[in-house]
Amino acid sequence: MGIIGRSVRSGLAIGWGSVFALFGGLTIAGGGFPSGGEGSGIIELLWLTTAYGGAPGAAIGLGMGVVLHRHEKRFPSRPLSPPVDRWSAVVARCEHSVHRVAAVVGAIPASPAKDWMNRITAQFNAELDDVRALAALARAMGAAHEDHPASQRLFAAARDFAAFEQEVGRVALKMFDHPELDRARTDLELLEQQLPNLRP
């Protein structure tokens, strides 16, 4: 059902229900149905609610539906999510790497070495902005082929993110057994040097 049909149905229901509640309440407050009997009173109530509630409500709903339909045709709604293409898929891979690194670091016992890892993780997360910007650039340039320079840089970034994720896991496993900063310092310094950097 289109937007006009939904608007008519909603207007009919609201108008009919409102007037039915009003006349029904007045009828009950006035001592029941007229002398013609309860059956004829209900029929009269239904006719009144249809005439004074349902019909005007449907007409108002029709008008609103026409206005909304014209607005929809003139200003079509835009998709809320970005288009799914090869570039957004690469960005998603990088985002997953960042989320997994954060989860790994979060599982390490609290220590000064973990604080250092948290700072490295924050730097890693900041690189996502450059990944998204590079993907937008590749999309705007129409870099459909893998040998396009923009595509090559984006795919290289995804490989760097995946490699860094593995390295974080290796260091985190060592820190889980030996969280002392003195023992982890060399690994953390090397890890910091391996941070992906899209803007060398």
User: Is 180:111 a contact under the CB 8 Å cutoff?
Assistant: yes
Between CA 67 and CA 75 the distance in angstroms is 12
pLDDT score for 191: 93
Between CA 66 and CA 64 the distance in angstroms is 5
pTM above 0.85, yes or no: no
Between CA 182 and CA 107 the distance in angstroms is 20
Q: Which residue has the higher pLDDT, 67 or 154?
A: 154
Between CA 113 and CA 181 the distance in angstroms is 5
| Band (8; pLDDT cuts 50, 70, 90) | low
Q: What sign has the CA pseudo-torsion 148, 154, 160, 165?
A: negative
| DSSP reduced 3-state for 78 | coil
Mean pLDDT taken over the chain: 78
What type of residue sits at position 28? Answer: I
Residue 108 corresponds to which tokens in the numbers above?
């390490």
Mean pLDDT for 132-144 is: 86
Residue 57 reports pLDDT greater than 90: no
pLDDT score for 158: 93
| Band (187; pLDDT cuts 50, 70, 90) | very high
Name residue, tokens 């290796």: 170
Residue 185 reports pLDDT greater than 70: yes
CA dihedral 65, 70, 72, 75 (to 10 degrees): -150
